Amino acid sequence: MSRMKFGAFLAPHHPIGEHPMLQYRSDLDLVERLDQLGFDEFWCGEHHSTGWETIASPEMFLAAAGERTHRIRLGTGVVSLPYHHPFIVAQRMVQLDHMTGGRAMFGSGPGALPSDAYVLGIDPVTQRDRQDEALGVIQRLLRGDERFSHKSDWFTLNDAGLHLLPLQEELPFAVASMVSPSGMTLAGKYNTGVLSIGSMSSAGLNALPTQWSFAEESAQKHGNAVDRKNWRIILQWHLAETREQAIEQCKDGLFHWHNEYNVGTLQRPGVGPFETPHEGVEKMAFSEGATAVIGTPDDLVKRLRDLIALTGGYGVTVGFVHDWANRENTMKSWDLVMRYVAPELNGMLEAYRKSREHVVAHRDSFADAQQGILNKIMENPRAAAALKDTKVGVAAALGPHAGPDLTKAAKDS
């Protein structure tokens, strides 16, 4: 496997109460900071209800983010295909790719919130099949295939072809995957990447070892070959310098998010409220089957190494953006990921460590060289006399780095 990439996923899950305009700007500030830190990818979703998930058009948000960033890739995470005519989706992705300088990624899904489908009059039973159908049509359009027609029970295309193709020769695709095989199967069928959103639940995390096999089997059936480097696994974390600080910073926000949104708003089946903030932290991060990391960069490094071993390898670690902590501590958490977790996991520090070990192991050789320098200096009477006037502070500053102990030599001469 190549080096692990890192990204962020913004649903978003924002508690109700903040000025919407300022909230959007804060989210854009986050993307800008992630770009500065060197994160590889940023994804944001599409939702139309609940009051917490406030981005209705990921393409519009990402176009704005593109103006404030330079290198980070920007993905729809995800466009709910049953909600849209596939031709319009394809055209919007082409425009986004050009507006971001070829940094767009197209993530799609069937639609996550039953309340969204209800408002639009869409039967939930049809959503996965409609995603499948739309995805095949969108791929043909974005490839620039010959004009074609397509008639469906929910959309029609007549002699369709795009008048502008993506800036990238191959615009990256990804499909959302939960616990069931459907997302992985679709990825294999259309040779796309995967966004494993289900990994934020215990059931989804436990299913990861077998998930990739569904994609491989489907790919083989359709004459494709999926690549693990395009498998993105989404995790929740909050980091600080110490585990105690991390817990203190996020416990109240996590408690509110879980009880108010997961339980009180979404009413997820089988999910009950936490009695106290400390119970929330314990169950989310420290109990058997815990899905979140609340602690230090070392804690996240360990979790990711365990996850690599569990899955057999994947390409991108994507952090779920949340409001568990205040903005300052949230930004610091993302900063710690790129400063300490990414380089440790990707072996960027090994050469430093080997160089230090080499210096320590060969100290005698360097001491012999230093003595040779000193002997050369002492051959010159004027230089030897000058040693007696050398200030201790200067010798102390220079000696450990490059030369012999001049103060000691002056005393001995």
Q: What is the pLDDT of residues 110-167, one digit of tens each?
A: 999 999 999 999 999 999 999 999 999 999 999 999 999 999 999 999 999 999 999 9
Q: What is the pLDDT of residue 251?
A: 98
Q: How many domains does the chain have?
A: 2
End residue of a domain, out of 348, 382, 398: 348
* Residues 380 and 340 both lie in one domain: no
Q: Do 281 and 372 share a structural domain?
A: no
Q: Are residues 304 and 385 in the same domain?
A: no
| pLDDT grade for 394, boundaries at 50, 70 and 90 | very low
**Which tokens sit at 371?**
């003595």
Q: Do residues 185 and 284 share a domain?
A: yes
- 231-239 vs 292-295, strand pairing mode: parallel
Are 12 and 160 contained in the same domain? Answer: yes
CA 100 to chain centre: 19
Question: How far apart (Å, rounded) are the C-alpha atoms in residues 41 and 114?
Answer: 28
The answer for residues whose C-beta is within 8 angstroms of residue 247's C-beta and 6 or more apart is 281, 294, 295
| pLDDT tops 90 at residue 382 | no
Same domain, 280 and 407: no
If asked whether residues 76 and 211 sit together in one domain, one would say yes
Which structural domain, as residue segments, surrounds residue 233? Answer: 5-348
Look up the CATH number of the domain holding residue 327. Answer: 3.20.20.30
Are residues 233 and 124 part of one domain?
Answer: yes
Instruction: Give yes or no: residues 270 and 395 share one domain.
Output: no
My answer on whether 102 and 160 are in the same domain is yes
Give the model's confidence band at 393: pLDDT under 50 very low, under 70 low, under 90 confident, else very high. very low
Let me know if residue 39 belongs to a domain.
Answer: yes
Domain-located, residue 356: no
Query: Which residues on neighbouring strands pair with residue 237, listed in sequence order?
Result: 293
φ and ψ at 159, to 5 degrees?
A: 50, 55
344 and 367 both lie in a single domain: no
- pLDDT at site 397: 38
77 part of a folded domain: yes
CB 139 within 8 A of CB 145: no
Integer Rg of the chain from CA? 28
- Residues 41-51 have a mean pLDDT of 98
Q: Would strands 156-160 and 148-151 be described as parallel, antiparallel, or unpaired? A: antiparallel
Q: What confidence tier does 375 reach under pLDDT thresholds 50, 70, 90?
A: confident
- Is the per-residue pLDDT at 106 higher than 60? yes
Residue 368 clears pLDDT 90, i.e. is over it: no
Among 324, 348, 372, where does a domain finish?
348
- Tens-place pLDDT, residues 346-364: 999 999 999 999 999 988 8
Residue 149 burial (10 A CB sphere; 0-12, 13-18, 19+): exposed
Same domain, 221 and 285: yes
| pTM > 0.85 | yes
Q: Counting Cβ atoms within 10 Å, is residue 159 exposed (0-12), middle (13-18) or buried (19+)?
A: exposed
Alpha-carbon distance values, 246 to 237, 250, 278 (Å): 10, 6, 12
